[in-house]
Structure 1
Amino acid sequence: MPITLLHVPQMRADLYTNGDYVLHMDSDVIVFEDVTYKHIFHLHKPVLPYRRYRTDAGFEGLLYTLCWQSGTSFAMGEDVLHEFSIFNTHVYPRSIYPAARKFLTERHDMSMVDFMSTRRGRCEHPNEMRQYSDEDNMRMFSDFNFIGAYMWYHMHDAVFWLPADPYDARLDDWRPNLLNYAWVCQANGRHVPSDATGLVQYVADHRMVTTLNQCGIVRRYWDVAWEQDPAIRTGIDTDSREWRAGL
């Protein structure tokens, strides 16, 4: 099954709930705070962060630009300048889903499922993606980037747009802190230790996380420790000033 077909249920989320809003959350994240209204909404609208695609923003920026910009622009039928999948959680009005499905069907003269069956849904390393043709890049598809782009151009008033990039922020803007909406910690599945003792510790370390700062410490530790000899792993110093910062 093409990877993009696994995202079809997300594009049909309105069919599985009667709520006014739908929360999507990645399966590899840990919620480290009690989630409240303020974590999701601002001025009675769900908050949707966005940032510009930029090739000068280091490894991550290059990856996202190569991976998603061309495909999202192709799906929309116009140049999309921003990406909309900033965090591992996304909240959308329920009304967006049927509108987005109808748009894809009319724009590409095929059903949403048929369209997605022709797409690619997995990013590769930038060194490999540089070798892709323009046609290959146009086949990339991210449901969250597409939904964000659709709302940006066709349902702009449905959400509160929060710029994550200073290029898009105006000096006279009053806006909430972006990090207020970062309330999950992603467990990097590529850096899971293979030994039983390490796996137990990996899970325990992630369960200790109560702040975004601690999430970063755990991720950075296991980025290295996952492939170390268990005998030389130092563990995370939870008494350190760095760990306790922000508590």
Structure 2
Amino acid sequence: MKKRKRRRRNRRKRRRKRKRKKRRKKKRKRRKKRKEEEEEEGRRRRKRKKEEEEEEEREEEGGGRRKEEEEGGRRTKKEEEERRSRKKKKKKEEEGRRRKEEEGGRRMRRKEEEEEEEKARKEGRGRKKKKKEEEGRKEGRKKKKKKRGGRRRKKKMKRKRKKRRKRRKKRRKRRRKKRKKRKKRKKRKKEKEKEKEKEKEKEKKKKERKMNEEEEEERKTKEEEKKEKKNEKDKEKEKEKEKEEEDEEEEEEEEEEEEKNKKKKKKKK
């Protein structure tokens, strides 16, 4: 029973869909046709307007020349301005008249199309139902009023509420999922940023350590150089001392020898 009902409902739905599609197609066609007609009319109007303007210019030029010839000279500045203003006024009046005519035609066309659409919609509505209504009227029966708060309607509303509830539930679920994903993404982003900062700090420390080591090595080398220099100086000083001592010893020996020689000389005498 349920299956049968479902199938019937689906058939109805499909039928309605097809009808809707056809109506839309017809509407599109009508709209397209109307647009093309308006464009064609616009082209014709522009062409007509151009031709009229050219004719007017030709006439005015001919009239101006004639007037000049009759007067025996050229027009003054004031006369030229008056002529231009008259021309503009005439042009404006013609444009207004033409626009009114076009708007009236458009309005009429739109009205006719709307009436056609209404007629088509009415004709498309259930023919069987219409026939039954006509038969009933013939027999003298009154047309039944449509009940608003029936069992079917209540069931329908119940189904609608159920569907709405389901949709809401799904929507909430989707939103929850999206929220969770966003949170995860944010968390991951924060963790990545933290890791980057840690790596930066590590590199900084490494660089500082390297700098400190280099400074320490430089200091050590400087100290060693200082020590070496000091040692060299000490050695030189020792050498000088030894030299001085040797010189003193040599001097003493020389003095002793001199004294010995002196004594020997004295003895001989």
Question: Per residue, is there more strand in 1 or in 2?
Answer: 1
Higher relative contact order (CA 8 A, sep 6+): 1
TM surpasses 0.5: no
TM-score range, shorter chain: under 0.3
TM-score of the superposition, structure 2-length normalised?
Answer: 0.17
Higher Rg of the two aligned structures: 2
TM-score of the superposition, structure 1-length normalised?
Answer: 0.18
